Amino acid sequence: MRYILAIILSLSLLTAQARRQKTTIKGSPIEASGRSASEQTVPCDTITSGLDYIIAMAGYDKPLTAARETLHLTNLSATDTITSVTLEITYLDRQNRQLHKRQVALNVMLPPGETTLAGFPTWDSQRSFYYILSVKPRRQATPYSVAITPLSATVTPR
């Protein structure tokens, strides 16, 4: 029953995201519509997932002057509460060259079927980079994208 519910939730997420213009496969942005990035009207996440059956990620953000990075985590389980998640984050420039890579461990209390906004300190200590889908800053700065993969999730059964 748990797997059926996970499949239904995954299909509903795919249906809801069907209108997205941009996606990421293995950390490499792919233009799904054939249009250039400047012609796209709908900003989309560049987040990949390896634990699709238990956790979904969306809404990553880090404006230029932000001291924290944020993203939404959704528990896809019908019965288990997620209490921690370890993410591997790869930061990429516009040519898909790696700028930085790190692992982030997040303590969360995420009941089944719920979503939470998780925040953590930014890698950009000099505030010279901004996430490509954030608001473009007025001053000179370097845009970047991310490839985020959950490495592990700790769950507690109901």
The answer to whether the pTM exceeds 0.75 is no
Distance CA 14, CA 57 (A): 13
What pLDDT digit, counting tens, does each position of 57-100 carry?
Answer: 999 999 999 999 999 999 999 999 999 999 999 999 999 999 99
% pLDDT > 90, the chain: 59
Containing domain of residue 87, as a range?
2-157
Whether 2 has a pLDDT exceeding 70, the answer reads no
Where residue 53 falls among pLDDT bands split at 50, 70, 90? confident
Tally the domains of the chain: 1
Residues 6+ apart with CB under 8 A from 141: 64, 128, 129, 130
Give me the count of residues in the chain: 158
Cα within 13 Å of Cα(14), Cβ side? 8
More confident residue, 151 or 22: 151
Question: Would you give the distance in Å from CA 121 to the centre of its chain?
Answer: 15
Contact 37, 22 (CB under 8 A): yes
Q: Which two tokens stand for residue 63?
A: 């404006």
Reading across the β-sheet that carries 142-157, which strands appear in turn?
Answer: 98-110, 80-92, 142-157, 129-131
More confident residue, 10 or 32: 10
What would the mean pLDDT of 130-139 be, rounded to a whole number?
Answer: 95
Residue carrying the six token digits 């941009």:
22
